C-alpha cells in the first residue's frame, strides 16, 4: 500500500499571500511568517488515502510527466503525440540520444566531436507540439533542430542534422547524412521490451504500423519475410519485420551513395538548409 498526500492551498489572513503545502498540521506563511495553526485550507482536501501499488505507479508516472512538461514550459494543451514521443516515447530525450551514440560508435567510431553530441540531442526536438509523427507536420520535425545547429555551428551542421531523415532528404533532393544511418541503427538497437511499451504509451505505435505498411506497399526492396511481418497485426512481429529491413538498409547505405530504396514522402516541406 502507498500513501498519497493531498496538496493543500492556503491564504494568509494577515498579508493575503496564497501558498501551498502537503502538511496537515501547523503551517506558516512564507512571506510574513505568521503561524496559521489550525487553519482550514482554501480548498477542501481529502485526508490521506490509501491506494494500491498499480494506482500508485500510475500516479508516479503522471506526476513525472507533468513535472517534465511544466519544467520545460510546454503547456498541457500542447501534449500532442510528438511532445509525448520526445518526453517518453520513441524519441525520448533522455534515452534515444544514448542509443544513437552507441550506433554511431559501431558505424563510424566514437563520436569525439562535441557537435555530434549536440546533433544527437537536438535532431528530434522538432517533434515537440507536432500532431503526428509521419504526416505533413511530423515530417518537418527536422527543421527546428537543424536551425539550432545552424545557429550554434554553422550551415553545414544544419544540413547534416536536417538530413537525418531520409524522407526529408529524398523529398528535397538532398543526400542523407551519416546521422540518418546512425539514427536507423539506434532504432534497431532499441530492444522490443522497451520500444513497444513506450510507443504504445504515447500512441505512436499504431501510426508507425500503418505508415510502414503503406511504405512497403510502394517499394520493391522489402523481402517476403519482411512484408509478411509488416502486415501482421502483432506488434512484435511487425517490429521484427521493420528491423530486418532497416538492418539491410543500413548495410547498403552506411557509406553514403544514392538511396533508391526510400519511396518519396507525401508531405511538403521547405527545402532549407542547402
CB neighbours (10 Å) of residue 32? Answer: 11
Q: How many CB atoms lie within 10 A of CB 84?
A: 23
The backbone region for 215, taken as left when phi is positive above 0, alpha when psi lies in -120 to 50, beta otherwise, is: alpha
Provide φ and ψ at 63, rounded to 5°. Answer: -65, -40
Provide long-range contacts, Cβ within 8 A and 24+ apart, for 15-21.
18/42
Exposure string of 58-68, with b = 16+ CB inside 10 Å and e = fewer, is eeeeeeebeeb
Over residues 167-218, the pLDDT tens digits come to 999 999 999 999 999 999 999 999 999 999 999 999 999 999 998 877 766 6
d(CA 16, CA 7): 19
Strand duo 8-11 + 18-21: pairing: antiparallel
Q: For residue 261, how many C-alpha atoms fall within 13 Å in the half-sphere facing its CB?
A: 17
Alpha-carbon gap, residue 207 to 199, rounded angstroms: 10
C-alpha cell at 35: 503561524
CA 84 to chain centre: 6
- pLDDT tens string, the chain, 274 residues long: the values are 333 445 566 677 777 777 666 555 556 676 676 665 545 444 433 332 333 434 433 443 444 445 444 544 454 445 899 999 999 999 999 999 999 999 999 999 999 999 999 999 999 999 999 999 998 899 999 999 999 999 999 999 999 999 999 999 999 999 999 999 999 999 999 999 999 999 999 999 999 999 887 776 667 889 999 999 999 999 999 999 999 999 999 999 999 888 888 876 444 444 455 4
Write the pLDDT tens digit of every residue in 109-122: 999 999 999 999 99
Q: Directed axis angle between helix 81-88 and helix 53-72, to 10°?
A: 110
Which grid cell is 225? 519475410
Amino acid at each position: 500500500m502507498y500513501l498519497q498526500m493531498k496538496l493543500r492551498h492556503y491564504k494568509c489572513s494577515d498579508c493575503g499571500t496564497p501558498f501551498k503545502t502537503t502538511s496537515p498540521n501547523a503551517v506558516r506563511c512564507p512571506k510574513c511568517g505568521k503561524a496559521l495553526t489550525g487553519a482550514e485550507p482554501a480548498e477542501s482536501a481529502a485526508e490521506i488515502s490509501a491506494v494500491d501499488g498499480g494506482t500508485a505507479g500510475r500516479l508516479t508516472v503522471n506526476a513525472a510527466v507533468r513535472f517534465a512538461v511544466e519544467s520545460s514550459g510546454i503547456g498541457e494543451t500542447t501534449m500532442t503525440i510528438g511532445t509525448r514521443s520526445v518526453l517518453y516515447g520513441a524519441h525520448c530525450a533522455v534515452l534515444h540520444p544514448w542509443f544513437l551514440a552507441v550506433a554511431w560508435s559501431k558505424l563510424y567510431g566514437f563520436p569525439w566531436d562535441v557537435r555530434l553530441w549536440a546533433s544527437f540531442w537536438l535532431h528530434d526536438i522538432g517533434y515537440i507540439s507536432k500532431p503526428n509523427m509521419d504526416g505533413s507536420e511530423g515530417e518537418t520535425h527536422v527543421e527546428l533542430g537543424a536551425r539550432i545547429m545552424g545557429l550554434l555551428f554553422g550551415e553545414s551542421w544544419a544540413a547534416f542534422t536536417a538530413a537525418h531523415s531520409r524522407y526529408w532528404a529524398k523529398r528535397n533532393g538532398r543526400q542523407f547524412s551519416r546521422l540518418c544511418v546512425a539514427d536507423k541503427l539506434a532504432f534497431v538497437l532499441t530492444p522490443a521490451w522497451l520500444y513497444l511499451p513506450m510507443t504504445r504509451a504515447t500512441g505512436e505505435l499504431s501510426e508507425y504500423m500503418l505508415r510502414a505498411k503503406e511504405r512497403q506497399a510502394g517499394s520493391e526492396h522489402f523481402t517476403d519475410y519482411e512484408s509478411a511481418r509488416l502486415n501482421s497485426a502483432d506488434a512484435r512481429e511487425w517490429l521484427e519485420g521493420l528491423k530486418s529491413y532497416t538492418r539491410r538498409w543500413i548495410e547498403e547505405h552506411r557509406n553514403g551513395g544514392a538511396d533508391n530504396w526510400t519511396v518519396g514522402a507525401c508531405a511538403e516541406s521547405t527545402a532549407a538548409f542547402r
